[in-house]
Structure 1
Amino acid sequence: MAKEDFRIILAGGELRSRDGGIIGEATQDFIAQFRLDFGILGISGIDSDGSLLEFDYHEVRTKRAIIENSRHVMLVVDHSKFGRNAMVNMGSISMVDAVYTDTLPPPGVMQVLTENHIQLELC
């Protein structure tokens, strides 16, 4: 049975044609209006010290807005993101509350997760 009485609210901003991502100042302003229970993020790469890396500066600003306005932040990544380089440093993996991935992270990342009491879920 499908639920039919719901609303979908979409953020404004720039729609990226290559992946359908919505980014930009208008998106950040939109996100800042809300207090989210859960913020769910992906990332382009995670360095061995736990640095979260992206290719697009505008995407970093949008993701930071999600982190700043979420009660619980979940990072969802597959094994290919560990050790993958990208030029924009978004911050540390310590900014998230939980990491969902398909394999154990490298030792340096595991250390940051353990030291910061970040939940790790293998899926």
Structure 2
Amino acid sequence: MSASDRRQEILQLLYQHQRMRVAELSEMLGVSEVTVRRYLAQLAEEGKVRRYHGWAALASEAAAERSFRERAQQATEEKERIARQAASMVPDGATVMLSGGTTTARIVHHLRDRTGLTIITSALNIAAEVVEWESCRLIVCGGLVRDGSYQMIGPAAVATIQRLTADFAFIGVDGITTRHGLTTSDIFEAEVDAAMIRAARHAVVVADSRKLGRTGVAVIGPVSEVGTLITDHKASPHICRDLEDHGVEVVRV
């Protein structure tokens, strides 16, 4: 594969994941980290990526928005099964927190037939759907809207969540490992997700198998704060056992 093709592949991966560590790019491309850094330097000179210590991101906000739409079309069958399983946990009358993310957005589709729900969300796209429901109370966190994810972040969002409690919090993540815990790509989003986990009686992570064993830039919290992980049947048995050994109930669908 030519250097030009490699650079294009890096851009495609960044479109899909928004931000990635150099080590992750190296592993996925099958080249050394030195080679990845050289390609990233060339892409940065062209204004296509931004380089940070140990990781890289797309330069344009518009690219981040496309990334969200593209991610919504990835692993669609797996995300749909995960969403149905998550929704099956919720009884009528429950209070449910939903973070931003492509999988949590699918969960809400399967909650529409419930009665007496209270939905608390930091995601504008989820709020826009729920606001039209009958027999449902909607609470939307304030704050700054993060480009590309529709999620509201910042002190206002965290402060709102800290004044609330919920039966369930369904949290989407970019990575989960026993070493680094739950991680995402944005430090301010991580703060909002962490507040939701603390506010809920039962915290549930929804993540397809691609997220297991990966590590994002920002730490949400340790896996010990999570009651359940719902993932798909392709998830590594070794990683699942490791999480179970740390007290996480792993449900593969």
Partner of 1:113: 244
CA distance in 2, matches of 1:37, 1:51: 22
8 Å contact 1:48–1:82 — kept in the other structure? no
TM-score by length of 1: 0.84
8 Å contact 2:187–2:217 — kept in the other structure? no
Q: Mark the CA change 1:52 to 1:106 in structure 2 (over 3 Å): closer, same or farther.
A: farther
Q: Mark the CA change 1:25 to 1:105 in structure 2 (over 3 Å): closer, same or farther.
A: farther
Q: Mark the CA change 1:109 to 1:42 in structure 2 (over 3 Å): closer, same or farther.
A: same
CA distance in 2, matches of 1:30, 1:73: 18
CA distance in 2, matches of 1:82, 1:29: 30
| Selected match of 2:149 from 5, 14, 19 | 19
Length, aligned pairs only: 121
Q: Which one has the bigger strand percentage? A: 1
**Matched AA of 2:217:** M
Greater length-normalized contact order (CA 8 Å, ≥ 6 residues apart): 1
Residue aligned with 1:18, SS? coil
- Greater C-alpha Rg: 2
Output one character per residue of 1:28-84: Cα deviation in whole Å (capped at 9) or x when no partner: 110011111101101111236362222211011111100111100000000110122
Superposed CA RMSD: 2.1
**Matched AA of 2:189:** E
Q: Mark the CA change 1:69 to 1:48 in structure 2 (over 3 Å): closer, same or farther.
A: closer
Partner of 2:213: 83
Residue aligned with 2:141, SS? coil
CA distance in 2, matches of 1:6, 1:49: 39
Output one character per residue of 1:67-123: Cα deviation in whole Å (capped at 9) or x when no partner: 11110000000011012232222232221001100033452452232341x222112
TM-score by length of 2: 0.44
Task: List gaps (5 residues or longer) in structure 1.
Answer: none
